[in-house]
Structure 1
Amino acid sequence: MSLSDAQVAAALEAQRLLANVGLTTPTNPDDPNFLEVTRVISQTLPAASASAAVRGSLYRPPPGRPFTAEELRLGLDCINRQTHVNTFVEHPLGSIVEYPETGAGPGLAIAHRFSVDPSNFSPPKESFQYSLGDSHGENPYVHCGTLLMGRNGTPASCVLEKFSCSSCKGLKYCSARNYASPPSLFQLDALAEAKKEVFFKTLRFYCTLAEKGCAFDLRTDGEDISSAELTDDPDPDSDSDESESETHTKIMNMVVSLSTHHILSLDPYRHRCEHRKQTDKAHLILRTLDEFDITYLGALLENNTQVIDEREELARQFGYAYWHRTSGKLARGVLQRSKGNCTTTFNIYTPYDLFDCPYVVVTCRNPHSHSLPPSVKTPPPLLEVFRSLLIELEWKLADATPRKLMIDSGFMGSLRRALGWNKPFDPPLAALHPSFGNLDHVRRYIDELRHVLFPSATGFEGAELLAAQHRNLPAEEQYVRCAEETHTIEDGKTFQLVICMLRSMSALLVRSKKISLDTAFKRLNGKWQEFEMETWELSRMKSVIGTRAFTTSQSAQAHLILFTRIFEIAYGDTGIPCRFRHIHGEGFEIWITDAHKGQALGAGMFCQRLCAELGEVYCPMEPTRLLRALDPYDHLRRFLRLCTTHNKRNIDELRPYTTQKVRNAMLSLSSSQVHPDINAAFQIIENGGRKAKAWLKDKRVGSQFALPALYQPMSLIPLEIWKSGPSTTNGNEQAHRNINRDGVNLTMLGGIMRGMQFDARAMGTLELHSVQDIYSRDQTATHFRRLQRSSNHHGKVQNSSGSHR
């Protein structure tokens, strides 16, 4: 006969209890009942590898047993002369009891004796879900009858803590709980259910407006109102709003006082705060008011009691809108704290010497006057399991969130092992304990541990500490080379800078001929940008990051400081100074950027600084000019190129404002060949409209380096070197894309550590190829394969863009 689930569970519990006391019974493995028990065990019980705390959380305490006549005769129920208990229960070592049984009636008490580990003591009361907030003091050096005895057979000396249950005092209830309640089984059809939803949707919208009004107030807590109806107007506020309202029939033409601001009616679909204007668009604008019951909303705003009564009475007849009704009008209830009247008391006896008496006794007297509180408190043993899992994350904890934990394969693998989880899907955090189902609860534990492990926080201060720690590492392992906040740039602003590079990266950088520069803005959160200098390894046909930096400014002065510090560090690592071909006859031939003005001008200023002490050294490209007399733009003409992909993308963005002829003229300026009629191209662009004219002015005046960096005949870079270098910063873009797969919007510390892992892997790949001639792909990179792949990609992009036009 097949066993029921209840029978299987009972057999399972019996088997566990017998095994705990060393009693086992051999079972015929062919018995069908045994097979079913085995199946249920494998599906419902954690594996033997589950942690002790998890096994302890699965413990289900037996009910308290009354004392036998012999035990009563021996006085085992006596705690002392005045205190007796009626029942007793023993809890094994490692057991977690969240809801200890209390006395079955007034004046009755039960004694719980917990076996504890004296070397890793966790008070059993810390696992109780009941709030023990009302302490009645403690008594030192007391005894607990015969329940706590030392190894020599004498009563153990204990400290007695007295508490009363205050769980009900932490409860809050609505002030309207005593109002008439609706019928419990009131059934609504689909249409009535929809009307109910619109009614409550309108009412809660009104309550939000009544409480917050226009929530734009710097003194508020910044609470976000999650509503699709409350949005910022992306368009300039305006006169156009007023003119547009004239084309609609106004529903509510009034000014309503809400909070400290007013809401103005514009039209049936849009209302805005009276303080909203073109120069201050952060104030509230309300859209899609037609989604509400406009009649009821208008009545609420105008305090039209007749319409309010009609709508709310109709709602009451359909079985809703009973709550919070005071004098005929629905009103918001107020949460009030319960006074509490639970009479349950807890007396906790803890021996001073747990090694002599490894037990704790908890007596619970009187039943609770309230229901069981939810499992919102995490028992300390399970919390330690969770913290140990977080500690295994190491530096990843800097950016850990509850969601990131659940998608982190390493964390989930450790959680599986801790739980003994054998199901095909990953366990939720609540599988460890129900309290972890509250993600804000989890976030608080993460933050607490993060503050402990990262005492300098995870921002710039954390980067400074990391830089100090890396200075004590072996030379080849140092990555965070500087974290500086001492630079002051224009307008007295402070410039922060973090530079990250391994010594192997320094060697690649200073030996490079052609490098590309790029800045990404979504890697770190807040004000930080990520800057990369990428080199091209011709022998391996591979682009490699030469340095990675995080900055807070994109100005030319900030880039001058950045380049200076990078090459100072590289010189310290390699002994090789920064050298440019047009200055020193060797070194960097081409730098390619994406037309950022501050970046380009900073590079020119850096070259100007390199030439400051050269003396009477003339430029080899213009023999009549001294190198130290060249200005930043003169230097840029000798080594800077602009990314053609960025240039074309910027031109394509002018498509709505220019003709194809004008855009073709713009594109013709990006060339290594002499233009057949460059003045005619300039004229076409000049006459191509306001946007085209501004584009040309920027290239000629605003960014004086731009045309020489696009059009080789205006540049002083030799033609063969121009052609041999990359024409785009696609390598940098791909590098940013690759590392962004590891995470974006990171903290400073998380961004540094993920960058270190990425760069260390890249350097390891190069070393493996150099030492053992092992490539990172089956097919080696060659000019042919790179061009073939580029052509295929270009064709796909063209087909895709053509299909969207």
Structure 2
Amino acid sequence: MITTFLLDLYSNNGQVIITCILNDQAKKLITLDCFQIDVSFKRVKGEINEFEINTYDSKHHLILSFCRVFTNVFTAEGYHRLFSSLFQIVHEVSGQHMQFKHIHGQGIGCILADLDAAQAKGLGLALHDLDSEKSWEIHLTYILKSCLIHFERNLFHKKFSTSTKNLIRQIPNATSKEQVYDLLKQIEDTNDEGIKEWLSYYQQPYVLASLNKYVSNVDHEIWNKSGSDTNNAEAAHSMVNREGKQLKLLSAILKGKKYDIRCYTTIETHDKKGVPYTHRDKSDVKRVQNSIARKTSRTQKNKESLDDKLPKSSKKRNLSPSSSRTSIKSKKNHEREDILSDNEELLKEIRKKNLELELKEKEILLKEREVKARIAEAEARMMEAKAEALELENRNKC
């Protein structure tokens, strides 16, 4: 039975980190070779957000969470403490240290995340604590992989020319390190407004390595199976949000615990009694296959619909060689139109996701300002209280 639930609390100078983890979560986490990390902003009311580690369990057809960290940290220092604390808690619960492939020769080989610079640096610093021979930036080249949806979203809002954006979009799919650097040179030569600032960030070794496997030091096999976006993490947020949103902190912790216990009890039932949660495969590969099948089905339906609209006499009439060639050209044109239609739908979906992520980013900035304002207010009150106490002490002496 799943019984152990550890809750670790850190609070200092307005910074809060509350780590919650089940014993089953910790034991399963140390067996992974890759996972996703992401932050949810909806579950808890106020300035506290929820950090999660997630992955898709293909055996049990479940998206699993491996910890829940409730925090208001936004800085590299805060994330450094978060990751270091998490590594220690996993050791206390599971009895084993978290291992990383590039440090220990086995263990976690890839972490998929969004393009949060503070979060990335915090992770790098925590890994540097485990192996000080490498800088935090070099550690990230061995383990960090960026979500391409966030990458596309960031690019979408840049005022670069279409040709420059197309060059940038080729970076993740470049087939060699040399090709990546050649693309960067071409991008630099465009001299678009703001391109130097863009390059100063993306040419950092760990950032560039997180986008292309030939620049990265991550094992190629692990890179290929780790996915290209944090959709599993986003889906995990969506599922636990069904337990409630904008909750008080204690309610969010208890409901998260209840949800996780239910997931791991489902796994236990499947393993012991052979009763699965579902027979449906929800993996990234299966979703791509289903997407292709849907597009093929739509194309076929469009063709059938077009045939139905043609006059019966034209269907029965024998076609001459010239009319046959015209028919073939017409068929190809319709196929091109179908492909363009599918691409337009895909672009609309990407734009929708980009807008959602932009709203999330603005929400982060607002919450960050609120935190800073509250900290400043608390410090001012503390100074006033000290001044009043000192004044009272001086009066008593007189």
TM-score by length of 2: 0.70
SS in 2 for 1:592: strand
Deviation at 1:792, TM superposition (A): 6.2
User: Does residue 482 in structure 1 map to residue 12 in structure 2?
Assistant: no
User: Does residue 648 in structure 1 map to residue 159 in structure 2?
Assistant: no
Q: Of 632, 638, 663, which aligns to 2:165?
A: 663
Task: Sort the Cα spacing of 1:802 and 1:728 in 2 relative to 1 into closer, same or farther, 3 A.
Answer: closer
Following the alignment from structure 1 to structure 2, what is the Cα–Cα distance between the partners of residues 478 and 707? 40
Q: Of 579, 595, 598, which aligns to 2:99?
A: 579
Q: Deviations over 1:586-628 (max 9, x none)?
A: 11010111011111111111111112xxxxxxxxxxxxxxxx3
Following the alignment from structure 2 to structure 1, what is the Cα–Cα distance between the partners of residues 275 and 243? 25
Following the alignment from structure 2 to structure 1, what is the Cα–Cα distance between the partners of residues 152 and 286? 25
Q: Deviations over 1:326-380 (max 9, x none)?
A: xxxxxxxxxxxxxxxxxxxxxxxxxxxxxxxxxxxxxxxxxxxxxxxxxxxxxxx
Which amino acid in structure 2 is aligned with residue 721 of structure 1?
I
Corresponding position of 2:313: none
Which amino acid in structure 2 is aligned with residue 747 of structure 1?
K
Deviation at 1:757, TM superposition (A): 1.9
Q: Deviations over 1:180-223 (max 9, x none)?
A: xxxxxxxxxxxxxxxxxxxxxxxxxxxxxxxxxxxxxxxxxxxx
Q: Deviations over 1:448-500 (max 9, x none)?
A: xxxxxxxxxxxxxxxxxxxxxxxxxxx943435112214xxxxxx44211111
Q: Confirm or deny: 8 A CA contact 1:540 1:781 kept in the other structure.
A: no
Which amino acid in structure 1 is aligned with residue 85 of structure 2?
R
Q: Confirm or deny: 8 A CA contact 1:481 1:569 kept in the other structure.
A: no
Following the alignment from structure 1 to structure 2, what is the Cα–Cα distance between the partners of residues 484 and 739? 24
Flag the structure with larger Rg: 1
Q: Confirm or deny: 8 A CA contact 1:659 1:688 kept in the other structure.
A: no
User: Does residue 531 in structure 1 map to residue 38 in structure 2?
Assistant: no
Following the alignment from structure 2 to structure 1, what is the Cα–Cα distance between the partners of residues 294 and 77? 38
Q: Confirm or deny: 8 A CA contact 1:532 1:548 kept in the other structure.
A: yes
Corresponding position of 2:72: 552
Q: Confirm or deny: 8 A CA contact 2:269 2:275 kept in the other structure.
A: yes
- The 5 A counterparts of 1:298-377 are none
Deviation at 1:661, TM superposition (A): 1.1
Task: Sort the Cα spacing of 1:678 and 1:565 in 2 relative to 1 into closer, same or farther, 3 A.
Answer: closer
Task: Sort the Cα spacing of 1:584 and 1:531 in 2 relative to 1 into closer, same or farther, 3 A.
Answer: same
Following the alignment from structure 1 to structure 2, what is the Cα–Cα distance between the partners of residues 532 and 783? 19
Corresponding position of 1:639: 143
Q: Confirm or deny: 8 A CA contact 2:202 2:208 kept in the other structure.
A: yes
SS in 1 for 2:69: strand
Corresponding position of 2:194: 691
Corresponding position of 1:591: 111
Q: Of 718, 726, 736, which aligns to 2:219?
A: 718
Q: Confirm or deny: 8 A CA contact 1:593 1:640 kept in the other structure.
A: yes
Deviation at 1:783, TM superposition (A): 7.5
Q: Confirm or deny: 8 A CA contact 1:514 1:536 kept in the other structure.
A: no
User: Does residue 705 in structure 1 map to residue 206 in structure 2?
Assistant: yes
Following the alignment from structure 1 to structure 2, what is the Cα–Cα distance between the partners of residues 576 and 669? 38
Greater share of helix residues, 1 or 2? 2
* Larger relative contact order, structure 1 or 2 (CA cutoff 8 Å, min sep 6): 2
Deviation at 1:554, TM superposition (A): 1.9
Following the alignment from structure 1 to structure 2, what is the Cα–Cα distance between the partners of residues 792 and 494? 51
User: Does residue 799 in structure 1 map to residue 348 in structure 2?
Assistant: no
Q: Of 266, 278, 295, which aligns to 1:777?
A: 278
Which amino acid in structure 2 is aligned with residue 642 of structure 1?
S
SS in 2 for 1:710: coil
Following the alignment from structure 1 to structure 2, what is the Cα–Cα distance between the partners of residues 742 and 496? 23
Task: Sort the Cα spacing of 1:572 and 1:677 in 2 relative to 1 into closer, same or farther, 3 A.
Answer: closer
- The 5 A counterparts of 1:447-462 are none
Gaps of 5+ in 1: 1-474, 487-492, 612-627
Following the alignment from structure 2 to structure 1, what is the Cα–Cα distance between the partners of residues 119 and 127? 13
Deviation at 1:711, TM superposition (A): 1.6
User: Does residue 767 in structure 1 map to residue 268 in structure 2?
Assistant: yes
Corresponding position of 1:505: 25
- The 5 A counterparts of 1:95-174 are none
Deviation at 1:697, TM superposition (A): 1.8
Following the alignment from structure 2 to structure 1, what is the Cα–Cα distance between the partners of residues 183 and 346? 30
Following the alignment from structure 2 to structure 1, what is the Cα–Cα distance between the partners of residues 69 and 294? 30
Following the alignment from structure 2 to structure 1, what is the Cα–Cα distance between the partners of residues 7 and 126? 20
Task: Sort the Cα spacing of 1:791 and 1:762 in 2 relative to 1 into closer, same or farther, 3 A.
Answer: farther
Q: Of 514, 537, 541, which aligns to 2:34?
A: 514
Deviation at 1:741, TM superposition (A): 2.8
Corresponding position of 2:245: 744
Q: Confirm or deny: 8 A CA contact 1:508 1:535 kept in the other structure.
A: no
Task: Sort the Cα spacing of 1:609 and 1:662 in 2 relative to 1 into closer, same or farther, 3 A.
Answer: same
Deviation at 1:645, TM superposition (A): 1.6
Deviation at 1:501, TM superposition (A): 1.3
Q: Confirm or deny: 8 A CA contact 1:517 1:732 kept in the other structure.
A: yes
- Number of aligned residues: 305
| % identical equivalent positions | 24
Q: Deviations over 1:525-554 (max 9, x none)?
A: 221111001134343354310011111112
Corresponding position of 1:728: 229
Corresponding position of 2:81: 561
Deviation at 1:714, TM superposition (A): 1.7
Following the alignment from structure 1 to structure 2, what is the Cα–Cα distance between the partners of residues 673 and 667? 13
Following the alignment from structure 1 to structure 2, what is the Cα–Cα distance between the partners of residues 770 and 526? 39
Task: Sort the Cα spacing of 1:800 and 1:670 in 2 relative to 1 into closer, same or farther, 3 A.
Answer: closer
Gaps of 5+ in 2: 296-340, 353-398
